[in-house]
Structure 1
Amino acid sequence: MTRVLVTGAGGPAGVAVIRSLLRRDDVEVLAADMDRWASALYLVDADHRRLVPPGRDEGFVDAVRELCARDRVDVVFCTVDVELPRLAAARDDLGALLASPSLATLETCLDKLALARACARTVRVPRTELVGTPQATSGWEFPVIVKPRRGAGSRGVRVVASQAELDAVHDEEDLLVQELLPGQEYSVDVLAGLDGHVVAAVPRARLRVDSGVAVAGVTVHDEELVATASAVARAVGLTTVANVQLKRAADGTPALLEVNPRFPGAMPLTIAAGVDMPSLVLDAVLGRPVPERVDFREVANVRYLEDVFLGVADVLPAR
């Protein structure tokens, strides 16, 4: 029996990974989060629920390392952006296999400016400049997008309508200014083997988004989107899973917006389309054979809240 620890049990990505792995009869899932009210903690048995410090906490990595030793964990799945680089940096002495991209890939993807530069010769990338540099001051066709250089979930992203408004933007948060693309936006879930070979790329149209998470969508067969996302994955050296966000330029060409180098919150749609990425990643990390190519079907979904009821005494005590 393979013992798997999944962190980020309070987020939709953590819920998706836990639910995927719970369907396997050869896997024992432990769920972890910093919050005792994290919903997916209560998808597993009481003796498989764990609390950890916040990802930015000085003791976070040590706490995960101690859990791996105490619980005899074989594989760790991390679903939280802030936790990923810290665990990847400790990969060699974590005491368990880490199902995540390399630290170099994570650092490239989590820095949107570095990502744009890494992919500029491979795929269409909208013009992207760092606010406060001479290159960012002129030559724009408005409106443009201003966004944090680092961060996820559409936090801090805003539309700037004029040169005067752009001139008033101050670089207090390491901001980027980026060409605004007019076309349809897509998210492409990409699975790559440990050798970097792209096994699957599943485009999703994000039909309704709440706080950066798609709550209604549809998978779409579009070879141009698949080819673009696969090229991005190769450019950043992806292994395991990432979510590549694309948007069509005025001429219809798919262009790169950003890459989330982890399991996305909308992963259940990709799984329902026939590509169970968490399960496939587990096999790859364990050295088991995975298919050369996995195809998907077109399906749609809507998301809704689901309640988990339990006795008050069953809620984990505060740390």
Structure 2
Amino acid sequence: MKLLIIGINIRHIACSARRAGHEVYAVDGYCDLDLESCAEDMALLSRDGMDDPGGADRIDELISEHVERVLPDAVVLGPGLEVARVKGLPVLNNPAEKTARISDKLYQARWLEKNGFPFIRTETSAEDLNFPVMVKPRQGAGGVGCRIAEDSSRLEWEEGLIAQEVVSGRAASVSVIGDGKDARALAANEQLIGESWTGAKGFRYCGNITPLEPLPKNDIANMAERIVARLGLLGSNGVDFLLTEEGPVVVEVNCRFQGSLDTVECATGINVFEAHLNSFRGLLPSRPAIKCTAGRAIIYAPCSMEIKESLLFPWTADVPRPGSRIERDDPILSILTKGSNRGEVLARLKDRAAMIRELTTCSSRR
């Protein structure tokens, strides 16, 4: 199948589709070195005007321009563009209206409560919650903009924020394939959040280890399947959890490809994109067996920098080109590894993170 895959960062989707044997045309905001090897052709996504009033129309126009250029059989919308509109072609995503609704964290909390799933109390202000509270964007991903307000004097409120009660627990996720009626879990994953050795700050998402070790007593894979099935979701979706002493609590539902794609594929041997594509034909995979432990870590820039030399190694992904400018606290690249257990994988991730830090020092400040 000839596919146009377009989004802010689509390397993981494009390379999975290429491994599944599809003809991939990639458009994203980075055009990283390793994306080039996965695509017949790639183009830089112009983000000018996307955040302005009428930005949605600008996005739709951009997609139309690339559709006319590539003439694909189908379009896959990646991160940042999942609610865009595409005319005249199959779109291998959840419907835009459903994605927009489910991406609303206030809607999610209300839906989870109504349907009897463990949820985090979520309000449109902090007035009815006890401090400290978690403040986060009502729409957002990757932990960007999430922070804890210890009391009302430290509460900086802006339009588009929500407040949640603070829940402590181990961060986990389940990768799920849905066919609109039923769902199948591929793997439960540990989430790496705000790990200092990656350079991430606060609650920033910085990777995964698959499988989750040890698994909780509660079957979070089964719970994730029920959530995705009841929401009527298609293709690749994810459900995030906090594993507390009282049991698992659902943090959010992500109706899109997840950052865990690399580790799920490595740990299970399944091709996530092919499973995603088959779901639109009403076909779901069996739950795959775990073959190894796999890890991915996202390394963040400690300062604004220019990439001076190639960082393309067999264990790096999302690799910027030499000469690229990376802003402070933005991702530099991802590192990947596999091993026989969590401890081994985590140690290798930390070693490779240290190597990247040595190669991207702050001596090259602008």
Matched, 1:137 2:127: yes
Matched, 1:22 2:18: yes
Matched, 1:161 2:150: yes
Matched, 1:294 2:287: yes
> CA shift at 1:3, angstroms?
0.3
Contact 2:275/2:285 (CA < 8 Å) preserved in 1?
Answer: no
Matched, 1:218 2:217: no
Partner of 1:97: 90
Partner of 1:199: 184
Contact 1:108/1:236 (CA < 8 Å) preserved in 2?
Answer: no
Matched, 1:4 2:8: no
**TM, length-normalised to structure 2:** 0.69
Contact 2:187/2:210 (CA < 8 Å) preserved in 1?
Answer: no
Partner of 1:84: 82
Q: What do the CA deviations read for 1:205-244 (whole angstroms, capped 9, x no partner)?
A: 1245547333352313556211221222133321112221
Contact 1:144/1:179 (CA < 8 Å) preserved in 2?
Answer: yes
User: Relative to structure 1, is the Cα distance of residues 41 and 20 closer, same or farther in structure 2, using a 3 angstrom cutoff?
Assistant: closer
CA RMSD of aligned residues (A): 2.8
User: Relative to structure 1, is the Cα distance of residues 249 and 213 closer, same or farther in structure 2, using a 3 angstrom cutoff?
Assistant: closer
Alignment of 1:163-202 (within 5 A): 164-165=152-153, 169-193=155-179, 195-202=180-187
Matched, 1:227 2:260: no
Matched, 1:112 2:105: yes
Partner of 1:261: 255
Structure 2 CA distance for aligned equivalents of residues 296 and 102 of structure 1: 30
Matched, 1:147 2:141: no
Partner of 2:336: none
Identify unmatched segments of 5+ residues in structure 1: 313-319
SS at match of 1:106: helix
> CA shift at 1:201, angstroms?
4.1
Contact 1:5/1:29 (CA < 8 Å) preserved in 2?
Answer: yes
Greater relative CO (CA pairs within 8 A, separation 6+): 1
Q: What do the CA deviations read for 1:165-219 (whole angstroms, capped 9, x no partner)?
A: 4xx53542322111111221112111112x3310224210124554733335231
SS at match of 1:232: helix
Contact 1:185/1:245 (CA < 8 Å) preserved in 2?
Answer: yes
Partner of 2:28: 33
Letter in 2 for 1:199: R
Q: Quick check: 61-70 or 116-125, which moved more?
A: 61-70
> CA shift at 1:30, angstroms?
0.5
SS at match of 2:107: helix
Structure 2 CA distance for aligned equivalents of residues 226 and 266 of structure 1: 15
User: Relative to structure 1, is the Cα distance of residues 291 and 191 closer, same or farther in structure 2, using a 3 angstrom cutoff?
Assistant: closer
Identify unmatched segments of 5+ residues in structure 2: 195-199, 300-310, 313-318, 324-366
Alignment of 1:245-256 (within 5 A): 245-251=240-246, 253-256=247-250
**TM, length-normalised to structure 1:** 0.79
User: Relative to structure 1, is the Cα distance of residues 108 and 40 closer, same or farther in structure 2, using a 3 angstrom cutoff?
Assistant: farther
Structure 1 CA distance for aligned equivalents of residues 123 and 220 of structure 2: 25
SS at match of 2:119: coil
User: Relative to structure 1, is the Cα distance of residues 121 and 309 closer, same or farther in structure 2, using a 3 angstrom cutoff?
Assistant: closer
Query: Where do 4+ consecutive residues of structure 1 move more than 6 Å?
Result: 308-312
Q: Quick check: 208-217 or 145-154, which moved more?
A: 208-217
Structure 1 CA distance for aligned equivalents of residues 82 and 192 of structure 2: 28
Structure 2 CA distance for aligned equivalents of residues 107 and 116 of structure 1: 15
Contact 1:101/1:241 (CA < 8 Å) preserved in 2?
Answer: no
Q: What do the CA deviations read for 1:231-260 (whole angstroms, capped 9, x no partner)?
A: 221333211122211112441x21111122
Structure 2 CA distance for aligned equivalents of residues 53 and 28 of structure 1: 23
User: Relative to structure 1, is the Cα distance of residues 309 and 157 closer, same or farther in structure 2, using a 3 angstrom cutoff?
Assistant: closer
Partner of 1:317: none
SS at match of 2:148: strand
Q: What do the CA deviations read for 1:22-50 (whole angstroms, capped 9, x no partner)?
A: 1233x111110245x444542245x6112
Letter in 2 for 1:203: A
